[in-house]
Amino acid sequence: MRVREDDPERPWTDAGVFAAAPGVYRIPLPMPNDHLRAVNVYAVLSAGTLNVIDSGIADRTSREHLRSALDALGCHLTDVTRFLVTHIHYDHYAQALALRDELGSRVELGRHEERSLVALAEGYPPFHEQVAQLRRYGAAEIAEAVVSRAKPGAREMITAFPDRWLEHDTDVEVGDRSLRIVATPGHTRGHVVFEDAVHGLLFGGDHVLPHITPSIGFEPVPPSLPLADYLGSLGLVRARDDARLLPAHGPVADSVHARIDELFAHHDERLSDAREAVVDGYVTAYQVAERLTWTRRGRKLDELDPFNTMLAVLETGAHLDLLVARSQLSREENDGILEYRDFS
Q: For 148-173, what is the HEC assignment?
A: HHCCCCCCCCCCCCCCEEECCCCEEE
DSSP state for residue 299 in the 8-state scheme: B
- Beta-carbon-side half-sphere exposure of residue 124 (alpha carbons within 13 Å): 23
Give the Cβ contact number of residue 76 at 10 Å.
Answer: 12
C-alpha 51/C-alpha 85 separation (Å) is: 11
pLDDT at 8: 82
pLDDT for the residue 122: 86
Instruction: Tell me the pTM.
Output: 0.94
Model pLDDT, residue 298: 82
Q: What's the pLDDT score for residue 152?
A: 54
Low-confidence ranges of the chain (pLDDT < 70): 150-157, 344
110-140 pLDDT, tens digit each: 999 999 999 888 888 778 899 999 999 999 9
Helix crossing, 128-136 with 306-325: angle to 10°?
A: 60
Which pLDDT score is estimated for 89? 93
pLDDT value at residue 154: 40
